[in-house]
Chains A and B, each alone.
Chain A
Amino acid sequence: MSANTIVLSEFPAASRPLPLRLHEWVTTVDHKRLGILYILFALVFLVLGGIEATIMRLQLIRPHNDLVSPQVFNRMFTMHGTTMIFFVIMPMVLGFANYLVPLMIGARDMAFPRLNAFSFWMTALGGLFLYFSFVGGNGLYGAGNAPDVGWFAYAPLTAKTFSVGHSTDFWTLSLFVSGVGSIGAGVNLIATILCMRCPGMTLGRMPLLAWMNLTMGSLIILAISPLSAAQLMLLVDRYLGGHFFDTQAGGSAVIWMHFFWVFGHPEVYILVLPAFAFASEIIPVFSRKAIFGYQAMVLATVAIGFISMSVWAHHMFTVGMSAGANTFFVLSTMAIAVPTGIKIFNWLATMWGGKIRFQTPMLFCSAFLFQFLIAGLTGIMQGAAPLDWQLTASYFVVAHFHYVIVGGILFATFGAFYYWFPKVSGKMYSEVLGKLHFWLFIIGFHLTFDFMHIPGILGMPRRIYTYEPGRGWDIWNLIVTIGVFFQAAGILAFAINLIRSYYRGKAAGNDPWDAWTLEWSTSSPPPVYNYAVIPSVRSRRPLWDLKHPEDPDWRYE
């Protein structure tokens, strides 16, 4: 098998006809190609989800606007949320994990290459299902419609009575199918990290990225499975006449909330741990210092993994749980701030006294630190049940979780794009366009999401398609919408940068950042087999040891 692929790669790619090259991509089981497929898939859906967000913001730009109907608005926020969580950030972080983990631990591929391909194509099928609902939501009869039940699809909105046609079924199937893919990817990641490390790479010498993806994999297994189970129940309700969430027959709408959020909150950590992972690799390299407090980072990561399984009902303070339950979930929510705080201080301590190089990846990671801190602080505000009763389902909540997902996760992911682009493509990106992307995006981000907190505090509920003038919300909504254009311009600069640099960029060389982890020791882009000779390592920074034989790390660890 491997001998066969090595021979193929000796032909220059351009000399083979296009159908053959496409066929290779479709049938590939190589972790690097699958990683790239995941990431490209996520970028396509990023544009789709972005268009949906733009439509919503244009509708809300002024009071009594009638750009879209209320029905379309409902579909837009449902599709935007579902797309961004399940088909942008998830495949994005899984793509990076797929590409980087085997390289970083000195392996030639994932533990189960074919399962890996299966997982990707299941995710792709899920995305297809979701968007097919635009055509087939009414069963291909006349114009279709998309799901409009909100991304957490509370019962009884999903019941057959209130959601006729097939749009909710497409939503359910889409999440179930892509969930199967994600579970496969989680299993694969754990098996790879536990079984495929190169000689000398003990768990204590593993790059932090591998540690955080190990925790992410475990969370996927424990959190996505309940979601899949809940989707099965919903399918039973909708197709077989079951009563799981049917209050008319004694069923419970609240139990759907529990099942959804028992997935939904760990999901946030599934998404954010890889972002932490990117920051933990990029910040040391651009500060020219080893990461501060490696053990504390690992412990904090695993602690976050555990605590995140016990905080879900802080999404449900207004449902009417008992005082005891409310108190428990307030306290566990506060508790998760501790390991997260440890991480933030560790990153700061890594930068402290370092020779910081503010190239694009580092810019994005610095912004990530700052914004993620604010996101965490507004999170603690809402983690206190009394304040949550005031702020729940308002634009304050929307601003908070966009601060986490855009300001935290997406910024770190953009950093990762620029950091590893030279490795993946073999070309250097344009620093000018990269900085342009950063500044446009950060201005747009803060215009949109800083000012979104204010109408929330003033009482503007989420998911309304329009509002009355004169409530003090008008100007803030205008500013929020203006920010969208800056963000879109930033994304455009990003896209141009990727495409242009891929074709015209300067050759990057193996190690453009003078970095320390194993992936920079192989060529850019890496060969199919990754390493001609499996490396063996003696410390957490194997390339430092190679470059500085007079003062290697392993003397101190």
Chain B
Amino acid sequence: MYCLIAAETAIFSIFVVAYLFYIGKSLTGPQPKDVLHAPIFYTVCLLSSSLTVHSAVRRMAAGKTAAFGRWWMLTILLGGTFLFGTAREWRHLIVDESLTIDTNLFGTTYYSLVGLHAFHVTMGLLALITVALFYFANRLRQEHAERLEVLSLYWHFVDAVWVVVFVVVYVIGV
């Protein structure tokens, strides 16, 4: 998983580099500072889900399955909220600001970078939900904690990437 994370980091770095390189190079509007609003609430949701997934795995390792279930479902809820936030932001940009991926360079780089991250969140959520299904089917036991640890590593990575994306898009980029 560490290797996969290294590979994913390389992919994200390329997209981040492209984003940074193209800041302010758009020939037509809309520009980032006119349309972007930092999604603070949803960011807090995603980052705190790192804590909840960690607690969940610790409960499982200690054999407290019921507590695991609560923390795990909370993680899914927080991740889902974040994804909902991204969806709302995109809807706002597309419908109200008429910014799409082919409008200008900002659109191209913004939707690719944030979209790539949202794709990873979606993948992570699907994995989390799969585990939840196993949990509700009573197939999850204490000895699986190590595998859950691997999944939570991926989830931490997705959160960490968001920190970078947030800084690049909403702090440096506007």
Inter-subunit contact A259/B14 (CB<8 Å): yes
Question: Which of these, B22, B25, B27, B108, contacts A236 with CB under 8 Å?
Answer: B108
- What separation, in Å, do the CA atoms of A263 and B105 have in the docked complex? 24
Contact partners of B18 in chain A: CB under 8 A: 233, 244, 255, 259
Among B8, B11, B13, B104, max chain A CB count under 10 A is at B11
A187 CB-CB contact with B under 8 Å: yes
Inter-subunit contact A244/B6 (CB<8 Å): no
Contact partners of B22 in chain A: CB under 8 A: 250-252
**B26: nearest chain-A partner, CB-CB:** A250
- What separation, in Å, do the CA atoms of A240 and B15 have in the docked complex? 16
Q: Within A222-268, which residues are at the interface with B (CB < 8 Å)?
A: 222-226, 228-230, 232-233, 236-237, 240-244, 249-252, 255, 259, 262
Inter-subunit contact A243/B108 (CB<8 Å): yes
Contact partners of A228 in chain B: CB under 8 A: 11
- What separation, in Å, do the CA atoms of A232 and B18 have in the docked complex? 12
**A237: nearest chain-B partner, CB-CB:** B108
**A229: nearest chain-B partner, CB-CB:** B14
Q: Within B122-174, which residues are at the interface with A (CB < 8 Å)?
A: none
B27 CB to closest chain A CB, in angstroms? Answer: 5
Inter-subunit contact A242/B101 (CB<8 Å): yes
Inter-subunit contact B10/A221 (CB<8 Å): yes
Contact partners of A232 in chain B: CB under 8 A: 112, 116
Question: Which of these, A186, A218, A243, contacts B105 with CB under 8 Å?
Answer: A243
A496 CB-CB contact with B under 8 Å: no
Inter-subunit contact B21/A187 (CB<8 Å): no
Among A228, A244, A259, max chain B CB count under 10 A is at A244
A182 CB to closest chain B CB, in angstroms? Answer: 10
Q: Within B81-113, which residues are at the interface with A (CB < 8 Å)?
A: 101-102, 104-105, 108-109, 112
Q: A240-B101, A242-B101 are in contact. Are A183 and B7 (CB under 8 A)?
A: yes
Known: A223-B10, A242-B108. 9 other contacts (CB 8 A): A183-B4, A222-B6, A225-B7, A225-B14, A232-B116, A243-B108, A244-B108, A249-B26, A250-B27
Can you give 16 contacting A-B residue pairs, CB < 8 Å? A183-B7, A190-B3, A217-B3, A221-B7, A222-B6, A223-B10, A225-B14, A233-B15, A240-B101, A242-B102, A242-B112, A243-B108, A244-B18, A249-B104, A249-B105, A255-B18
Q: Which 3 A-B pairs have the closest CB atoms?
A: A241-B102, A225-B10, A229-B14
